[in-house]
Chains A and B, each alone.
Chain A
Amino acid sequence: MNVPGASDPAGAPGPPGDDDRAGAVFGALSDPTRRALLAAIAEHPAATATQLASELPISRQAVVKHLNALTDAGLLDRTRAGREVRYQFTPAPLSDAVGWMAEVGAEWDDRLAVLRRQLGSDVHAGPRGA
């Protein structure tokens, strides 16, 4: 599986080890063209490469290359229907991200409220055990 290294704008040193699949996921989401493709596929489920190429200012050949990277990364499902290959977005990674943000954000809100109560009332007592 290749990660198109040339399109890695972040210049990230890349994930550790030699896991090419991990590199594919990481690279897939770091590229603006691939993010645009994902968005297009999310809007038009079961899109083909030809349809996607007509929506984006890149060639069909380039679309196919990016679709392969996204599929390798586990972000797309590919189904063959006759001569056509259709792509579906598999949004699990992104919905997981939203869930994480909500959960962890709420945890911090709780913690900060605790701290505000604790230090707001007993500020003049000074640090414990000092």
Chain B
Amino acid sequence: MTERIERELWLPAPPDAVWEAVIGDGWLADRVSLELKPGGDARFDSDGRVRNGWIEDVAAPERLIFWWACDDEPASRVELKIDEHRAGSRLRVVETRPLEVLDLVGVPLPGVGGSTYGPALVAA
């Protein structure tokens, strides 16, 4: 049972501009630090709430897939896709938490150090 959130938004800006806004400080978190390569580290700081994670896949300015989690929460996977659409861009967001059920039985989840562990889960 996968929990899944999907959103889609049209923006009157080219994909490059959307990409800059999406990965920059102030959107995903107040301070965003992304090592933009598969397996790279990701850190999201907002008001003392820190999420750590890692990059699953990146292709600027079209696609960013990452995992994130607060220390005490199960990790979730976020997929951001940007494409040109009607003189602007379409941003599609999918966040899933495929491992929520596993967390119930205390299985360690990908968060910090998840990069060694995550890819197998993505396939699941």
Query: Measured between alpha carbons, how far is A38 from B21 in the docked complex, in Å?
Result: 44
Instruction: With both chains docked as a complex, state the minimum distance between the C-beta of B76 and any C-beta of chain A, in angstroms.
Output: 7
Chain A residues near B71: list those with CB within 8 A.
Answer: none
Could you tell me if B105 and A104 are in contact, using CB atoms closer than 8 angstroms? no
A-B residue pairs in contact (CB < 8 Å), sample of 6:
A73-B105, A93-B101, A96-B100, A108-B95, A115-B11, A123-B11
**Prevailing SS type, chain A contact patch:** helix
For window 67-118 of A, CB contacts with B under 8 Å fall at 73-74, 92-93, 96-97, 100-101, 104-105, 108-109, 111-112, 114-116, 118
Could you tell me if B107 and A22 are in contact, using CB atoms closer than 8 angstroms? yes
Chain B residues near A100: list those with CB within 8 A.
Answer: 3, 97, 100
Quick one: closest A residue to B11, CB to CB?
A: A119
Contact size range, B: 35 or more
Quick one: closest A residue to B108, CB to CB?
A: A17
Q: A-facing mask of B83-124, CB < 8 A → 1, else 0?
A: 000000001010101011110110100000000010011011
Quick one: closest B residue to A118, CB to CB?
A: B21
Q: Please report the number of residue pairs spanning A and B whose Cβ atoms sit closer than 8 angstroms.
A: 98
Interface residue tally for chain A (C-beta within 8 Å): 39
Query: Can you add 12 more A-B contacts, CB < 8 Å, to A15-B121, A112-B91?
Result: A15-B124, A21-B105, A22-B107, A25-B105, A26-B124, A73-B105, A74-B104, A97-B1, A105-B5, A108-B7, A126-B17, A127-B16
Question: With A25-B102, A100-B97 as given contacts, are A127 and B121 in contact (CB-CB < 8 Å)?
Answer: no
**Cross-chain contact of A15 among B3, B100, B102 (Cβ < 8 A):** B102
List chain A positions with a Cβ less than 8 A from chain B.
12-17, 19, 21-22, 25-26, 29-30, 73-74, 92-93, 96-97, 100-101, 104-105, 108-109, 111-112, 114-116, 118-120, 123, 126-130
